[in-house]
Amino acid sequence: MVKQGDFIVHLRSFEGGLEKANTDGIVSPAYHMFHGDKTDTRFWYPYFRSHEFIDVKLKPHVYGIRDGRSIDIEGMKSINILVPSYDEQKRIGSFIEVLDNLIALHQHKLEDIKDYKKGLLQKMFPKNGEKVPEIRFPGFSGDWEQRKLGDIATFINGRAYSQEELLSTGKYRVLRVGNFYTNDSWYYSDMELDDKYYAEEGDLLYTWSATFGPHIWHGDKVIYHYHIWKIDLSDHLNKSFAEQLLENDKAAILSDKNGSTMVHITKAVMEQKPVLIPTNIKEQEKIGEFLAGIDKTITLHQRKIELMKEYKKGLLQQMFV
C-alpha cells in the first residue's frame, strides 16, 4: 500500500530520482515506499530529485550494467543526510510550493494561448471544401485560390554530413533538427558551399525528420542539415503568411495520422500539396503579422517559464546543503 505523500523508488531505475505519491493506492514489488514522521514532503521532494542525492549519495548503492542497474535498498537506507528542523522544512517547503504554483500558473496560461492560436488557425484558413475562411480582416473578399505548393515555393534540401565533417569548432555552425527544440550543442564546419546550403537571418526553414514544422531562422549564417528544407518563396507568397500556412498544414497532418505515432513527410509530397491562399498579398500580410504576434507572446511566456525554472533551480542549490 502507498499513501498520498509517500515517496516511491523503483529498484530498477534511479535516473529520475524518487517520486511522490499524489494519491493512495498500491504498487508492485518492484517499488519501495517510505515516509517519515515530522517531515515535510514539499521540502524533501526536490532534494530526492537533485544531483546531490542521485549522483552523489545514491549512486554508490547502484549496481549492474547500464540497462539492468538496480538499487541496493539496504545501502540506500544507510545514506546519511542533513535534516533541518520540522519548522524549517515547512518554511522551505511552503516557499517551494509557491514557486511551483507560480510556474504551473504560467504554464496553464501558455497552454491557453496555444489553444487560442490553434482555434484561430482553424477559423482564419478555409476548411476542407470551403474557399473562404470563417473569419476575415475587413476590406478583403472573394474566394481564395488553390495552388500547388511546389509552384509557389521551392523546397531546398540541406547537406548530409559524415561524422568526420562535423567539427567541434569552425567557421559555420551546422544547424540540425534538434537545435530548434531541445539540443543546445552544436557541430561546426569550415566548408565553403553553394549559397543554397546556407540559412541566414529571416530564412523560412522546415524540419521534416523526427519532429516537423516551419521555422523562421533567427541567428547568424549557418549551414543547415539534410533533415531541414530551406523554402524560397515566389512573389505569390508572403513569408509570415507562408509560415502560418505551413503551421496550419502541420496541424492537419497531426490530426490525420490514423493512430500512427510516426509522421512521414517527403519533399515530393509537399511540392504536390494543394493549398488555398488569398490572391491579395496584403491579406496574406495581415494574417501573417497577426498570427506572428501571437507566436511572439507564446515565446515570451515560454522564456518566462524557463527563467522561473532556472531561478528555482538556483535557489534549490543554495537552500540545500
Write out pLDDT tens, residues 257-286: 665 556 778 999 999 999 999 999 999 999
Percentage above 70 pLDDT, the chain: 94
pLDDT score recorded for residue 259: 52
* Residue 291 to residue 123: CA distance in whole angstroms: 12
Residue 68 — pLDDT band, cuts 50, 70, 90? low
More confidently predicted of 144 and 10:
144
Q: Which of 13-27, 147-161, 235-249, 304-318 has the lowest mean pLDDT?
A: 13-27
Top-level CATH class of 145-277? alpha beta
- DSSP H stretches of helix in the chain: 41-48, 51, 73-77, 86-124, 149-152, 239-254, 267-272, 281-319
More confidently predicted of 63 and 165:
165
* Residue 121 to residue 302: CA distance in whole angstroms: 20
Residue 64's Cα: distance from chain center in Å? Answer: 33
The helix/strand/coil state of 175 is strand
Answer whether residue 303 shows pLDDT above 90. Answer: yes
pLDDT score recorded for residue 10: 76
Assess contact for 25 and 74: CB atoms under 8 A. Answer: no
At 207-224, the pLDDT tens digits run: 998 788 999 999 999 999
pLDDT score recorded for residue 53: 85
pLDDT score recorded for residue 147: 96
Which range has the top average pLDDT, 4-18, 37-51, 242-256? 242-256
Spell out the residues 6+ positions from residue 223 whose beta carbon is closer than 8 angstroms to its own.
158, 159, 172, 173, 174, 175, 189, 191, 193, 197, 198, 199
CA distances 78 to 36, 58, 107, 176, Å, are: 15, 10, 38, 45
Answer whether residue 287 shows pLDDT above 70. Answer: yes
pLDDT score recorded for residue 215: 95
CA distances 101 to 45, 98, 265, 300, 305, Å, are: 15, 5, 39, 19, 12
122 forms bridges with which residues in the sheet? Answer: none
Can you give the residue ranges of every domain in the chain?
7-83, 145-277
Angle at 200 between CA 195 and CA 203, to 5 degrees: 100
Percentage above 90 pLDDT, the chain: 60
Assess contact for 228 and 158: CB atoms under 8 A. Answer: yes
pLDDT score recorded for residue 267: 93
pLDDT score recorded for residue 183: 72
pLDDT score recorded for residue 66: 59
Overall average pLDDT of the 90-96 stretch: 93
Amino acid (one-letter) located at 35: H
Residue 104's Cα: distance from chain center in Å? Answer: 16
- Closest CA relative to residue 291, chosen from 260, 248, 321: 248
* Residue 146 to residue 126: CA distance in whole angstroms: 11
Instruction: Output the nine-digit C-alpha cell for 158.
Output: 540541406
* Residue 125 to residue 137: CA distance in whole angstroms: 12
pLDDT score recorded for residue 260: 55
